Copies of this chain bind each other. A is one copy, B any other.
Amino acid sequence: METVATARAFGGTQGVYRHASDATGTPMTFSVYVPPHAPGQTLPVVWYLSGLTCTHANVTDKGEYRRACAELGLIFVAPDTSPRGDGVADDPAYDFGQGAGFYVDATEAPWAAHFRMWSYVTEELPALIAAHFPADMARQSIMGHSMGGHGALTIGLTLAERFRAVSAFAPIVAPSRVPWGEKALGGYLGADRAAWRRHDAVALIEDGARVPALLVDQGEADQFLAEQLRPQLLAEACDAAGIELTLRMQPGYDHSYYFIATFMADHLAWHAARLG
């Protein structure tokens, strides 16, 4: 693991790191914020998964998470959204290929060779975090935005014993039923929709996945709300399943990092309360 850059921030250290990933077969870059802590102390880990077109840098620059993480004693990890590079398959659209990994292990050519973001985020990167940072891996939680909200919900529902808190900003809750998701899951996983259900939060809940509670903030002025995000589908699934969903519709807010930053501290406090 190579250190790209570190800087003091809110009494802790914001770092950017790069490593050669076995999962994706590419170099991968990620950021980690470690808050101030006593020598030898380990701290809970919050995973943040980013949305379409993003790298680790968007939330690192604009997410405004460091003050709350410093106050609450949380490590904050932000991976990239896909493998990248000249030897990696790509698509000219912003919503497929590089920058749009959708947190799945692709099975279809040409994507299967490198697009293994599920394995990367759930297996390889956690091992790296455990090895190199003062992380208490028994206390983890996960959140994300948009495509990364989809990732946080599906990973949090699938690995419910690992993640003590799961939340999302403007998530894609039912990718099987919206254009972004149909394109991505069809492209990465193939035409058989049965294979998509493991990567669709609403389908996972319908198929029996359970977490105690979810927190979702959604801007009412979000341009993607009606066609791509459809949080009501998550509300209906949680209602039927007995999952306590706190779905906060936020008047006037759009899909941007101004929205995320506004509610980031709320989410981190909600996570901290569950991380102990």
Query: A residues bordering B, Cβ < 8 Å?
Result: 7-11, 14, 61-62, 64, 66-67, 219, 221, 250, 252-254, 256-259, 261-262, 265
Contact = CB atoms under 8 A, between A and B. Distances in A.
A8 B62 contact: no
A252 B8 contact: yes
A256 B64 contact: no
A8 B61 contact: no
A39 B17 CA distance: 47
> Does more than half of chain A's interface fall in helix, strand or loop, or is it mixed?
mixed
B262 A9 contact: yes
Nearest to A219: B8
Contacts of A252: 8
Nearest to A262: B10
A7 B259 CA distance: 8
B67 A7 contact: no
B256 A7 contact: yes
